[in-house]
Structure 1
Amino acid sequence: MSDAQTDPPRQRRERKQNADKRRRQVLDATYRSIVSNGLQRTTLATVAAEAGLSQGVAVFYFKSKKGLLSEALRDLYLIYEAHWQEAVEAAGDDPAAQLVALVKADFDPKICNPAILSVWFAFWGEQKFTPQYGEITREFDDNRQRAIQGICARMLPDDPEHAADVADWVDTLTDGYWQNLHLFPASYSNRRACNSTLRALAALMPEYRDQLTPAD
């Protein structure tokens, strides 16, 4: 019988909590290393140094640099997905309110800030060369696209083709502004990007202009 089977529940729980804490430390350190060193120069050693842990800890939990970076990207998407899903759920049942909440969630500084944008674009720039990154991205992008398509279909039930187009344009707008915020931070702000996106959606769906146009 293994130690895990013979240990009391409290001890097993504490061991899991410690393991989760170490994994979180390593993942957070990975993001900091990417910001400081770039994706290519991020290694198990640079991550361990950022985390203040031994390199052996990173190896124990993630086995290799490839495994660590793939898990870091998945973790980044999980945090992002939980954030926008929570925003949509808090908006209630009205689809226009849900769309506004989803757009605002994309430009929340907790999710959209210079450091995090650097990490996103570092991973996206490597998708062509690292199939695992593309697979992870498609999985989470598909989840989000289905949610946006559902919202737009409810907003435009009599025009499914236009609803599908608007669903595509939502991410085209937000992705474009993320790029502008990343490349030209002095020229763009989160608030400007968010409000411009909402004004564009209001123009695309004039029947919802009052609900989509930002207050200021």
Structure 2
Amino acid sequence: MRTGQSGSQRPRKERKTNADMRRRQLVEATLSSIVRHGLARTTLATVAREAGLSQGVAVFYFETKQGLLTAALREIYRRYEANWMAALDAAGPRAEDRLLALLDADFRPEVCSRDALAVWYAFWGELKTTETYAEIAADFDARRFDALRGICRELVSGDADAGELAEWLDTFCDGYWQKLYLFPSAHGPEDGRRALRGLLARLLPDRGAFAARD
């Protein structure tokens, strides 16, 4: 049988590559649609328009709007996790440096730009009513909190104190994201970084490394 380079007879690897590209294209279009239209008004049709594809292509790869939205949520969490893990990998062995790197990563434009925050808050508003979203968020959030608490254990004595410190720092980052989202003209990522250093200097006054930072 002849094996040409078009249609269903293309090599399997090429077909998979093209399929992966289409899925990525549709997920990116879903994120753009959420920014433009919000979660409720994002549909297969709005996503297809954003992607420059037919609605049938969106249905073929994801079947439903819910399938697209779930894939989009996984993708923003995947990027968020890759962001903080890369920051940790580059931070070196000192606990102070790793703690600052992990928390600083929350203020990188890849994860807290205006568009990114619009997507985050759109999904977070649905966590209580959409079990799938809640499960995805819990899975990714647990890994980050475990990493944060592990570093805190190196800086304070006792699991309870480490857990409490990690909770405070996590809550600070969440709260500052809210400032960035609601009042973008008054607060920026650099303000968040400065406030973070001030908080660390007060919570861990015996760690001069935090007070010495710019």
TM-score norm. by structure 2 comes to: 0.92
Deviations 1:1-56 (A, max 9, x none): xx9xxxxxx92222221111111110110011001001000001000000001111
CA contact 1:152–1:163 (8 Å) conserved in 2? yes
1:214 CA displacement: 6.3
Distance 1:116 1:192 in 2: 18
What secondary structure is seen at the aligned counterpart in 2 of 1:206?
Answer: coil
- Counterpart amino acid of 1:33? S
Output aligned runs, 1:47-196, within 5 Å: 47-156=47-156, 158-196=157-195
Identity of aligned residues (%): 50
- Counterpart amino acid of 1:65? K
CA contact 2:118–2:181 (8 Å) conserved in 1? yes
1:215 CA displacement: 3.2
Distance 2:169 2:80 in 1: 16
Distance 1:160 1:204 in 2: 16
Distance 2:158 2:142 in 1: 22
Q: Which of 16-25 and 37-46 deviates more?
A: 16-25
Distance 2:113 2:67 in 1: 25
Distance 1:76 1:99 in 2: 22
Q: How many pairs are equivalent?
A: 206
CA contact 1:34–1:42 (8 Å) conserved in 2? yes
Deviations 1:137-166 (A, max 9, x none): 10111111111010101122x333221111
Distance 2:87 2:23 in 1: 26
CA contact 1:148–1:167 (8 Å) conserved in 2? yes
What secondary structure is seen at the aligned counterpart in 1 of 2:120?
Answer: helix
Q: Could you tell me which residue of structure 2 aligns to residue 6 of structure 1? A: none
The answer as to 2:209 corresponding to 1:211 is yes
1:127 CA displacement: 1.1
Distance 2:186 2:77 in 1: 27
CA contact 1:195–1:214 (8 Å) conserved in 2? no
1:186 CA displacement: 0.9
CA contact 2:104–2:193 (8 Å) conserved in 1? yes
Structure 1: runs of 5 or more not aligned:
4-9
- Quickly say closer, same or farther: Cα 1:94–1:215, change in 2 above 3 A: closer
Distance 1:78 1:28 in 2: 13
- Quickly say closer, same or farther: Cα 1:25–1:205, change in 2 above 3 A: same
Structure 2: runs of 5 or more not aligned:
4-9
- Counterpart amino acid of 1:73? L
Distance 1:20 1:65 in 2: 18
CA contact 1:106–1:174 (8 Å) conserved in 2? yes
1:213 CA displacement: 3.3
- Counterpart amino acid of 2:196? T
- Counterpart amino acid of 1:67? G
1:132 CA displacement: 1.0
CA contact 2:107–2:193 (8 Å) conserved in 1? yes
Tell me the C-alpha RMSD between the 2 structures.
1.5
- Counterpart amino acid of 2:77? Y
